[in-house]
Chain A
Amino acid sequence: MGLREDRERFHEIGEQRRQDLAEFIQYGDLGGSGPDAVRVPIKLVDLPAFEYDQLDRGGVGQGDVDPGDQVGEPDEAGEGDDDEAGDESADHEYYEMDPEEFAAELDERLGLDLDPKGKKVVAETEGAFNETARRGPRGTLDFAHLYKQGLKRKIAMDFDEAYVTAALRVDGWGVDAVYTWAREQHIPVSRAWIAERARSPSPDDDAGRVVDDAVWASIDAMEAAVDVEPTRTRIRRGGPGRVPLRREDERFRHPKVVEHRERNVVVVNIRDVSGSMRESKRELVERTFTPLDWYLTGKYDNAEFVYIAHDADAWEVDRTDFFGIQSGGGTRISTAYELAENVLDEYPFSEWNRYVFAAGDGENSHDDTEENVIPLMNDIDANLHAYVETQPTDGVQTGTHAGKVRDAFGDTDNVAVTTVTEPDDVMGAIETILSTEDNDTA
């Protein structure tokens, strides 16, 4: 009871009732919002009273200033925890917030889960230097790779020289016999090396094995007496020695190319500005569209807006004019969709998320809805089409456009139709619209 009724009465003031107070209502101007800040307007009814002239009154501030210094328009302290009646000097017409915060608020409030998709490739930036090529500037040479390859090669070519040399001392064996034996043992040794070693035997064996004095009766005896030293042990003992680096192993690193897709959106706002759209309806459109714009601005990296006004013709306008225009003519909604289709050619659906929002009082010229608008809505690819029908309670419902669109698309997941009859419906309308979008179509 009580307060709810008070709120209803408050909403009616200056609208359905109490026109005498209309002049004391201040609404924040919705248009005052920019990309950086959203001003959520509030309605305030400020009853008149005998007051001092604001400019003549002056005041007191706190801070280190000298007489004559400009002090800006000092504002009152926030009444954040105003715990008493009375002082209402801190009225603001707006609450300012960031579009992203606004979108987050709305998501939370409406339980939305709109996850915008990146579409247009706007940049190929350099990621980590993970990719490689065979050519490149010296500075990007992947030396670790080159060395590793060399090392591999070295390991592959390495053999126990002393062991092979020992085979040369087998009684009666010559270069050829050793070479044949070594090959059978898979020792990667060349005949030339064996021949060279046969001419000048190495005096020592690093592993301390006796090689010089021994003459083996047979290769079997040699194999039994001399252990093969594994490559691993040898490298650990003496280091890898000279690693053969080869040009063919050179690899040059270059950055991975990352495709950045911008989450971009183009929003077409269409509004009927014909004579039947009175002030109260106009305001309902503004109250619905503006938060939608803010929401999408907050959700996407880049948002572009197209404003189309129409009566029996359609034309593009600036935002500043969009909500204020009023013309006299009749209504032909399809003109706006034709224009929208043209404009959207510049925003290919493959690269842009598209939203087409139209608003009006539901009136349209005869058969235009069925014959032109609905086919156009089918043709224009978009994440979401919405039609907002504004029907302030004072008027008789005359329009049928909304109903026809609703019938034609039914529960199609990218067409939303909603009706707003008073400011309190706005939130519901926004919820309907934003929760209609099918996240898979984009």
Chain B
Amino acid sequence: MTRPDPAKHAAAQTLDEPAREANALARKLGLDPYDVQYWVVDHDEMNELIAYDGFQTRYPHWRWGMKYEKQRKQTQFLGGKAFEIVNNDDPSNAFLQVSNDLADQKAVITHVEGHADFFNNNQWFGLFADGEGPDAAAMLERHADRVASFLSDPEIGRESVERFIDTVLTIEDNIEYRRAFDRDAEGGDPDALAETLASLGVSEEVRDEVFTETWLDDIAAVDDSVQFPETPEYDLLAFLRDHGQAYDEDAEKAAAFEDWQRELLELLRREAYYFAPQRTTKVMNEGWAAYWESMMMGEEAFAGDDEFLSYADHQARVLNSPGFNPYKLGKELWEYVENRANRRAVLEHLLRVDGVTWRNFHDTVDTADVVDTLAPPAAVAAVAPDELDAVESLPDAYVDWQGLAAAREREIDVQRYPWKLFTYEGLAHRHYSLAKPQYRGFLGRVTRDELESVSRYLFDTARYASVEAALADVSVTAGWDRMYSVRESHNDVTFVDEFLTQEFVDANEYFAYEFSQTRGDFRATSTDAADVKRKLLLRFTNLGKPTIAVYDANHENRGELLLGHEYNGVMLDREQAEATLQRVFELWGRPVVLHTITKRVTDSERKRARRNDREPEPEEVGVALRYDGESVSHAELDWETVEHLAADDLDYDTKPDEWL
């Protein structure tokens, strides 16, 4: 990474100032990023970093090789440009490709500052960081060393380690990502018991003789007079770490995990928890970075005049890539959050003007006038180097007096860095969203419902005699303040749930779609916000994966593992479920069973539906898949057996009754 290379060194030098100023600007705008270390790397190093998820060292695994090849082919054959990679660490490390031009580098830097702020302040990242920062690079490097030591241990062998990793990876998403990572796991009961046995000081022979597996099982059986686990356990990795066993092929029975296996399981689980927040906040995080990048690059002209076109092109390519685009959805939602909060702040004041009520709002208030009044003062909107007096006459709270003094001494270039003259509040007014051309109509589009709800929660304290008096009290930072508080507490699920309104769906033309069995293709089902939200939540909830939990560790009293799929109206991919089940067996050592609900369409119903040109009505049926080490068997289950798995109030199916 640090090979001396004149091109990289030169590139790093030119990026010094942009990086410093981007950070200063970010802080002015209210961001609170981790410190970022920027590295300039060449194309091949960039591919490597992408393969390693932004780190320089990972445990040995073919998966990184695959990602590297894919990335390399993508850039080689498609001319795809890897613009940036930043990792969640304190300090964060961001990598810039030496061949990018300066406009691209600046865009990357501003984008990265957004991510670094998010990493630092979003509580979901805090679940892992535990107040001390993630210390990720060091953790991953430790993991790499551990795995490497397993690999080189002649008693273990490379292939067994690799196989075990692959097995664990099939359920790496089956963790309880909503909970804080419990980093001081004791290793569970079996360990404790084994330690106790060891401390007895009896010889191994005696131990084996007396405390046989049967005896240990009996103990478990006594405990299992009540259901174990008492409540469904969603962290499959933790459960199997504590209670799982390997399957000994030669002996054809379960055998306790080797130490390295248990350790490896925990190591992979820790990485899964580390990476989970990035996945559960992808839309927010990407949107956040895109929003602030656009604010800094575009609106604060961090891209020089000559770089702006190149930047606009870059931005357009990122935001307009086809299909579902988390960057775009995220940015649109953040802008909506900002506008909504600003609108609400305005309404809360206007509805306290004498004579204005939610019923007569549209008749008594000229929203275009309101927007004009709220537009930034000229001295804030545009700064001229020879009109610094105008800045001085602005409200106190807007002016960065130190900056202004420096500007008067010509220590700072006001033309390039006008933001240095202002405070957070000044900048908030400078970029006040409701006054931007594209949102000028936003205030006026407020619905009666929203007006009513705002007015319902108003304390009827201060009243205003006039619209002007009310507007004078409106805080211009309401939008940004709200954004900052949302970025602290939300993840993609809550973010979409709270802010994806009908107004947003209409404005941005989102729709839900489903596969039509009768037509054999995908069709739009709805433009209703509730339906669009359902489909998005399906994608974000539980990392976009079906929820699987351990329901019984002693199923049928045979020591089999019973997993339950909590059905929400969307069925499992059967083939993958069977393949995964076979791998869970490797971690349980005894047969594993999965209860799920599937949709079945009879042939006659399919024909009827086709004849009437409608979708067939599937029947929901309980199914048990069981893998015993040899083959997968299927059995139909009574509805009573699976009823508890079916969510009553959740259904992600958006097919309307009258669809085709």
Contacts and interface: CB of A to CB of B under 8 A. Distances in A.
Interface string A70-82: 1111111110111
A85 B281 CA distance: 12
A5 to B, nearest CB: 6
B69 interface: yes
B455 interface: no
Contacts of A367: none
Contacts of A68: 523-524, 659-660
Given A10-B66, A52-B546, A74-B323, A63 B509 contact: yes
Contacts of B538: 52, 57-58
Contact of A48 (B159, B327, B539, B583): B583
A65 interface: yes
B60 A48 contact: no
B170 A86 contact: no
B35 interface: no
Interface string B75-88: 01110111111101
Interface stretch (A39-47, A178-186, A316-324, A391-399): A39-47
Contact of B535 (A7, A58, A91): A58
A50 B545 contact: yes
Give the size category of A's interface with B: 35 or more
A13 interface: yes
Given A67-B525, A77-B322, A60 B539 contact: yes
A77 B325 contact: yes
B239 interface: no
Among A42, A83, A85, A109, the one with the most B-chain Cβ atoms within 10 Å of its Cβ is: A83
A72 to B, nearest CB: 6
B166 A67 contact: no
A86 B62 CA distance: 16
A62 interface: yes
Contacts of B501: none
A67 B527 contact: yes
A64 B660 CA distance: 18
A371 interface: no
B571 to A, nearest CB: 5
A11 B539 contact: no
A48 B522 contact: no
Interface in B309-341: 317-318, 321-328
Interface string B423-442: 00000000000000000000
A106 B62 CA distance: 27
B654 to A, nearest CB: 6
B278 A84 contact: yes
Most buried by B among A9, A10, A56, A109: A56
Interface string B294-322: 00000000000000000000000110011
Contacts of A8: 65
Contact of A95 (B65, B78, B513, B523): B78
Contact of A60 (B61, B69, B511, B519): B511
Given A53-B570, A70-B523, A87 B659 contact: no
A7 B559 CA distance: 40
A42 B77 CA distance: 11
A57 B70 contact: no
Interface stretch (A14-22, A110-118, A232-240): A14-22
Interface stretch (B45-53, B349-357, B377-385): B45-53
Nearest to B580: A48
A66 interface: yes
Nearest to A69: B524
Nearest to A77: B325
A62 B513 CA distance: 10
B73 interface: yes
A130 interface: no
A248 interface: no
A3 B77 contact: no
A316 to B, nearest CB: 32
Contacts of A58: 512-515, 522, 525, 535, 538, 570, 652-654
B656 A64 contact: no
A43 B457 CA distance: 58
Contacts of A95: 73-74, 77-78
Contact of A3 (B65, B318, B512): B65
Contact of B159 (A11, A17, A56, A80): A17
Contacts of A78: 80, 321-322
Contact of A85 (B54, B173, B323): B54
A97 interface: yes
Interface in A318-359: none
Contacts of B401: none
A99 to B, nearest CB: 12
B593 interface: no
Given A58-B525, A68-B659, A77-B326, A86 B282 contact: yes
Interface in A26-48: 40, 42-45, 47-48
A6 B545 contact: no
A54 interface: yes
Given A13-B62, A69-B523, A95-B77, A61 B513 contact: yes
Nearest to A75: B323
A59 B535 contact: yes
A105 interface: yes
B53 A85 contact: yes
B99 to A, nearest CB: 14
A224 interface: no
A18 to B, nearest CB: 7
A48 B170 contact: yes
A53 B159 contact: no
Given A61-B323, A64-B509, A97-B77, A56 B580 contact: no
A2 interface: yes
Contact of A63 (B51, B511, B576, B659): B511
A70 B61 contact: no
A62 B523 contact: no
Given A44-B70, A50-B174, A56-B570, A81 B65 contact: no
B232 to A, nearest CB: 14
Contacts of B61: 6, 9
A10 B65 contact: yes
B536 interface: yes
B577 interface: yes
B279 A86 contact: yes
B322 A45 contact: no
Given A51-B576, A75-B322, A6 B68 contact: yes
A192 interface: no
A74 B324 contact: yes
Instruction: Tell me which of A2, A5, A72 has the highest count of chain B C-beta atoms within 10 A of its own C-beta.
Output: A2
A55 interface: yes
A52 B536 CA distance: 14
A49 interface: yes
Contacts of B64: 3, 6
Contacts of B111: 83
B582 to A, nearest CB: 8
B574 A53 contact: yes
Contacts of B74: 95
A62 B509 contact: yes
A83 B166 contact: no
B5 to A, nearest CB: 19
B445 interface: no
30 contacts: A2-B60, A3-B52, A3-B64, A6-B62, A9-B62, A12-B62, A42-B69, A43-B69, A47-B170, A49-B170, A50-B173, A50-B174, A51-B545, A52-B538, A52-B573, A56-B571, A58-B513, A58-B654, A59-B513, A59-B535, A60-B510, A60-B512, A61-B323, A65-B511, A77-B326, A83-B86, A85-B278, A95-B74, A97-B77, A102-B77
Given A6-B51, A53-B574, 13 more contacts: A3-B64, A42-B69, A48-B576, A48-B579, A49-B171, A50-B171, A50-B173, A50-B545, A51-B546, A52-B546, A60-B532, A83-B84, A102-B77
Ranked nearest first, the 10 interchain pairs of A and B with the lowest CB-CB distance are: A10-B65, A7-B65, A48-B579, A6-B65, A85-B53, A77-B325, A86-B279, A10-B62, A9-B62, A58-B514
